[in-house]
């Protein structure tokens, strides 16, 4: 896998575009400049890797739009050493950004083929994440609690398990809505039974499928 000067130049241009769209967290920007997004896409689509667009990967799923990755990651306020749960590994791109930022990452994927591909790829690239095959709408009880949780598929409601598995002071970022459009929710757990929910912009994710989902 080669990351050419041309790739690096295109990546820099894409990140400049994201800063113009309002992304300003320096740690997010540094990680996105570093991780070659084209490694997570089929080689046929390599020329599209540095456009601010979502793209089809295998199994009818998508690699999120770079703006969406930046927006969600920025909301998470990742600190080095944070224990983070990602739901929807997909290509592994979002996972690699989180690991690059110093997160101790557990990432869950329900689709076996995507799980296998991402596990191999993350390992090959040296991104040390724990990949799990399963239904992330139930969280990951044996690894809980988490400092941060990010859901990269659209949910009909906020799954209760995810709030339960969050530490007090932790943040959950999740798109909630119907199957075509969802609003980004940022949920901060204030105490054991109390949380604050901020509802932000519209996004369009593939559906979260599972017991506490579609």
SS3 call for 23: coil
- Residue closer to ligand SAH, measured from CB, 54 or 169: 54
Token reading at 74: 């920025």
Binding residue for ligand SAH (CB under 6 A) from 35, 84, 105, 153? Answer: 153
- State yes or no: residue 91 binds ligand SAH (CB under 6 A): yes
E strands, 30-181, are 55-56, 62-63, 83-87, 104-109, 130-133, 146-151, 166-177
- Residue closer to ligand SAH, measured from CB, 29 or 205: 205
- Residue closer to ligand SAH, measured from CB, 35 or 196: 35
x/- mask, ligand SAH, residues 167-206, rule CB under 6 A, reads: ---------------------------------------x
- d(C-alpha 185, C-alpha 171), whole Å: 10
x/- mask, ligand SAH, residues 97-136, rule CB under 6 A, reads: -----------xxxx--x--------------------xx
Number of residues that bind ligand SAH (CB under 6 A): 25
Q: Measured in whole angstroms, how far is the alpha carbon of residue 21 from the centre of its chain?
A: 19
Binding residue for ligand SAH (CB under 6 A) from 87, 106, 129, 184? Answer: 87
203's enclosing H/E stretch is strand 194-203
Residues constituting the chain: 214
Binding residue for ligand SAH (CB under 6 A) from 119, 137, 165, 182? Answer: 137
- d(C-alpha 85, C-alpha 100), whole Å: 15
- d(C-alpha 172, C-alpha 188), whole Å: 7
Residues 108/114, Cβ–Cβ less than 8 Å: no
x/- mask, ligand SAH, residues 47-76, rule CB under 6 A, reads: --------------xxxx------------
Token reading at 87: 């739901």
Contact residues toward ligand SAH (CB under 6 A) are 61-64, 87-88, 90-91, 93-94, 108-111, 114, 135-137, 152-153, 206, 208-210, 213
């Amino acid at each position: 896998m080669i990351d050419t000067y041309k790739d690096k130049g295109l990546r820099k241009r894409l990140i400049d575009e994201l800063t113009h769209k309002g992304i300003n967290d320096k740690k997010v920007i540094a990680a996105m400049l570093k991780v070659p997004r084209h490694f997570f896409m089929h080689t046929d689509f390599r020329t599209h890797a540095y456009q601010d667009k979502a793209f089809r990967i295998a199994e009818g799923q998508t690699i999120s739009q770079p703006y969406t990755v930046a927006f969600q990651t920025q909301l998470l306020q990742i600190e080095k050493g944070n224990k983070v749960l990602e739901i929807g590994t997909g290509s592994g791109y979002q996972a690699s950004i989180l690991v690059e930022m110093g997160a101790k990452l557990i990432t869950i994927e329900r689709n076996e083929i995507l799980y296998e591909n991402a596990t191999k790829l993350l390992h090959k690239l040296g991104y040390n994440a724990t990949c799990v095959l399963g239904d992330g709408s139930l969280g990951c009880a044996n690894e809980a609690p988490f400092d941060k949780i990010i859901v990269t598929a659209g949910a009909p409601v906020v799954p209760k398990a995810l709030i339960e598995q969050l530490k007090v002071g932790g943040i959950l970022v999740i798109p909630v809505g119907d199957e075509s459009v969802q609003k980004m929710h940022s949920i901060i757990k204030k105490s054991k039974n109390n949380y604050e929910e901020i509802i932000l912009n519209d996004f369009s994710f593939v559906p979260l499928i599972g017991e506490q989902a579609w």
